[in-house]
Structure 1
């Protein structure tokens, strides 16, 4: 039985950090090779980071991306790798390089460029027009990128007709609540409709306002899950695919000829997806951690009113950054109740974070004096109360 050992590197890339991203990629290649993988796949634009946005308008950014790809290729020996990068000729492309034995042997250019929601790819990239299939260790492999797999008559159909037994789909797919289940239903349909393996590898981490959940997954030709990576964490997923079963199945099915396997082994323990509440909390934690880390900050200050909003923010920050890197800030004024102050103190004790207490009555009184001519004839009320940091309006 011909098997194919596939590795998928669910990595946390940083936009513009070519050295850091390339180091992560090279390290993962070496790890996958040591585990006997035939191919390791990395996410969409893993080398430059996703989404690079207006950095794509800088020629130097494109050149650096290509230079680092050459360094990665030199380290890729006795294993194949699919690496997301920016390809260029007279235009630029969202592309996936196939690397083997020190050389870039092929490049797939993304065909369907999303231009809705958080995506703006049609502004930056030209669309590809070819659907190559590569032979890796005796097995035909089709490579495509993110949006390409969402179309029922997209590149996967062309690659299946050209003999692909495995589709490697690399992604930069942002998280939102409920998306994972919808995405997996689509991927299962692509796998079963085309009678092949579909391997989906996704970015993980926060980048500005976006959070990528990972949740990389492999489906078999029957539409069933073969292997699943964790959510919101870096991981290399390894699976052995009995790709010869795909070939045997096609010999018995004449329909594929007119259009011109199913036993699987998972290395490691099966992983169950998070429930919806846990997904959202994990996304908040990861997004906070990566925003602080990637922007070069060390600690954060959080104004604590004793209410549920600042309590949740403080809990997320402590889980994301560690208690030593979070400082709570209480700013009592004439509107602060004893309960709110005690609640803020209990919160910092429970989370193990430092508490600064800075009374703001003098500063608040100075503001009221400045505004007194405009407030003449009125009684203090909601306006004064909601301007006080005791209510979290900082």
Structure 2
């Protein structure tokens, strides 16, 4: 299976321009015989949409989505967008499109509103975490900050995911001078690949929005934690690599932690902590 990492610059608020660039990446990916092409978080709109959210939001029956569905007839796609629901809520979402259909919709669950991020002011949190079937195996999508909450990858692998798709819009300065987003992400991706014996496909954008500079560094990590391929920092490019799902089988056989996983224990203890939190005094 050949994976493509579409490390693109996005034009803030310009859906038409971003859609055209997405199509250009798709055309190049077809020439490279790529099977799955993954785009960054909010690739249709740019990241810092803020007050532009109602203007750039689209529903999943929008002609733009229909256009992407047609593009996906011979290549699988993951595309980020501002989604408007039927009840007029706005979500930071990602679509998995394949064979001319939407196979999965993930709505970002954890919306950072710290540092210089303000997502909760403009988006509603998603409420579901599901792995899903594709032509290439069972996958799960995590959008940027979702990946920093280990319960979501944990749920995903228990739900059968062999491939994690991490779609991000990460800028170096996001957490101040004490924490490097780039270094932290590189450690995290390898940790998940090794701990859960899965492939991690991390796609980050490049370019700038105001003072925010997105660092790129898109990568594929194999089960066991080995880096297969990595895009350059700060450079728009299409990067590709082959993966083999037999590697997942191999590593889960020699590192069989999840054969021993006690789901009932996790559920029981989480319920206990939920009750404890509700009963805790306010002061």
- Asked whether the two chains share a fold, i.e. TM above 0.5, the reply is yes
1:210 to 209, 212, 215: 212
1:222 to 221, 224, 235: 224
- 1:81-100 equivalent positions in 2, closer than 5 A: 81-89=77-85, 90=87, 91-100=89-98
Residue 71 (structure 1) aligned with residue 67 (structure 2): yes
Match of 2:275 in 1: none
- 1:201-280 equivalent positions in 2, closer than 5 A: 201-259=203-261, 260=263
Residue 191 (structure 1) aligned with residue 193 (structure 2): yes
Aligned counterparts of 1:63 and 1:110: Cα–Cα separation in 2: 16
Aligned counterparts of 1:257 and 1:88: Cα–Cα separation in 2: 40
Deviation (angstroms), 1:92:
1.4
Match of 1:125 in 2: 123
Distance change in 2, residues 1:97/1:76 (3 Å): same
SS of the residue corresponding to residue 187 of structure 1 reads: helix
Q: Is the 8 A contact 2:58 2:84 kept in 1?
A: no
TM-score w.r.t. the length of structure 2 is: 0.84
Residue 54 (structure 1) aligned with residue 51 (structure 2): yes
Q: Is the 8 A contact 1:43 1:84 kept in 2?
A: yes
- Number of residue-to-residue matches in the alignment: 254
Aligned counterparts of 1:109 and 1:180: Cα–Cα separation in 2: 24
Aligned counterparts of 2:159 and 2:259: Cα–Cα separation in 1: 10
Q: Is the 8 A contact 1:204 1:212 kept in 2?
A: yes
Aligned-residue Cα RMSD (Å) equals 1.9
Match of 2:267 in 1: none
Aligned counterparts of 2:63 and 2:208: Cα–Cα separation in 1: 25
Match of 1:171 in 2: 168
SS of the residue corresponding to residue 6 of structure 1 reads: strand
**Runs of at least 4 residues off by over 6 Å:** none
Q: Name the structure with the higher helix share.
A: 1
Distance change in 2, residues 1:138/1:182 (3 Å): closer
Aligned counterparts of 2:13 and 2:72: Cα–Cα separation in 1: 22
- 1:15-54 equivalent positions in 2, closer than 5 A: 15-54=12-51
Q: Which sections of structure 2, spanning at least 5 residues, go unmatched?
A: 264-283
Deviation (angstroms), 1:251:
4.2
Distance change in 2, residues 1:51/1:78 (3 Å): same
Aligned counterparts of 2:212 and 2:84: Cα–Cα separation in 1: 26
> Greater CA radius of gyration, 1 or 2?
1
Match of 1:101 in 2: 99
Aligned counterparts of 2:110 and 2:58: Cα–Cα separation in 1: 24
1:143 to 141, 146, 149: 141
SS of the residue corresponding to residue 23 of structure 2 reads: helix
Aligned counterparts of 1:105 and 1:242: Cα–Cα separation in 2: 22
Aligned counterparts of 1:244 and 1:252: Cα–Cα separation in 2: 13
Aligned counterparts of 2:118 and 2:95: Cα–Cα separation in 1: 22
Aligned counterparts of 1:220 and 1:62: Cα–Cα separation in 2: 35
TM-score w.r.t. the length of structure 1 is: 0.61
Aligned counterparts of 1:183 and 1:37: Cα–Cα separation in 2: 25
Q: Is the 8 A contact 1:18 1:64 kept in 2?
A: no
SS of the residue corresponding to residue 50 of structure 1 reads: coil
